[in-house]
Structure 1
Amino acid sequence: MTTENREHNFENLKARLEGEYRRLSEQLEALRATKPQEDRREGSPFGKREEEATETADLENRLALEKRVLDQMAEVDYALGKLQKGVFGRCENCGQIIDPARMEILPYAKYCVSCKAKLNRPA
């Protein structure tokens, strides 16, 4: 891949990353705007305990989703910072250029396929 093609590809990836960051921000806003359900289970033999258990489960699910979105936002933001610094597209382990096909699939990839496979192997 020529330097000119690589730069053009980086511009496309930058636009995708910025769009992904906006999408994740909107998703996070929507999650945070979600209010717990107010429907009461009148007449339930378990009464308040059942309501509390449901509310706790709903809160745990929402917090887990928020954490996942925040983690993804951090990865996208990190990739955008690497673009700005001029080190985008290089493996953080071996320093080699990450395969452009991998970057197309996962624009915030930190490692080449080989290093990622080594890092994922059990010790």
Structure 2
Amino acid sequence: MTERFKQLRAQLESEHKRLAEELVNLQTTASTSEERREGSPFGKREEEATETMELEKRLTLENRVRQEMSDIEHALEKFEKGTYGMCENCGQPIDPERLEVLPQAAYCLKCKALLTKNAKVAPSSR
């Protein structure tokens, strides 16, 4: 494994740890909000609407964090298999500059553009 790949792996591991902590914080914040709501009398409709909107935003953020963690875990698995840095679509090496910007990238730019163009739903960052 090259020195640069070692650095990218360490970067991925560090980012995974940070995201795991962020997820715990999001879930802790949600528990605190629910406890406050349980202790209060029936709320006003505006408060309920605000709480619903905040819940939707938090769930969206949690899903984004989970997806990022999944992408990073996938990249770390590729390190173990010896396939890190290779495009999962065409098998060619991913441009080192792309890996610098997005170490969890699973596709070269050409394949990513093709997959994004053909996708009906927005694909993950891989």
TM-score (norm 2): 0.81
Q: Aligned residue for 1:44? A: none
1:17 partnered with 2:27 = no
Please tell me whether the aligned partners of residues 98 and 112 of structure 1 are also in contact (alpha carbons under 8 angstroms): yes
How far apart are the structure 2 equivalents of 1:75 and 1:21? 10
How far apart are the structure 2 equivalents of 1:110 and 1:80? 11
Gaps of 5+ in 2: 38-42, 120-126
Aligned length: 111
Please tell me whether the aligned partners of residues 90 and 110 of structure 1 are also in contact (alpha carbons under 8 angstroms): yes
Alpha-carbon offset, residue 122 of structure 1? 4.6
1:51 partnered with 2:40 = no
Which amino acid counterpart does residue 118 of structure 1 have in structure 2? Answer: L
How far apart are the structure 2 equivalents of 1:9 and 1:24? 22
Gaps of 5+ in 1: 1-5, 40-46
TM-score (norm 1): 0.83
Alpha-carbon offset, residue 48 of structure 1? 2.3
Question: Which of 33, 37, 58 is residue 36 of structure 1 equivalent to?
Answer: 33
How far apart are the structure 1 equivalents of 2:5 and 2:47? 50
Q: Aligned residue for 2:105? A: 109
Deviations 1:1-21 (A, max 9, x none): xxxxx6111101100000000
Question: Which of 3, 7, 10 is residue 2 of structure 2 equivalent to?
Answer: 7
How far apart are the structure 1 equivalents of 2:71 and 2:113? 19
How far apart are the structure 1 equivalents of 2:17 and 2:55? 24
Alpha-carbon offset, residue 107 of structure 1? 0.3
Which amino acid counterpart does residue 23 of structure 2 have in structure 1? Answer: L
Give me the identity figure in percent. 52
Query: Runs of 4 or more off by more than 6 Å in structure 1?
Result: none
How far apart are the structure 2 equivalents of 1:92 and 1:85? 13
Indicate the RMSD between aligned Cα atoms, in angstroms.
Answer: 1.8
Q: Aligned residue for 1:82? A: 78
Q: Which has the larger radius of gyration?
A: 1
Alpha-carbon offset, residue 50 of structure 1? 1.5
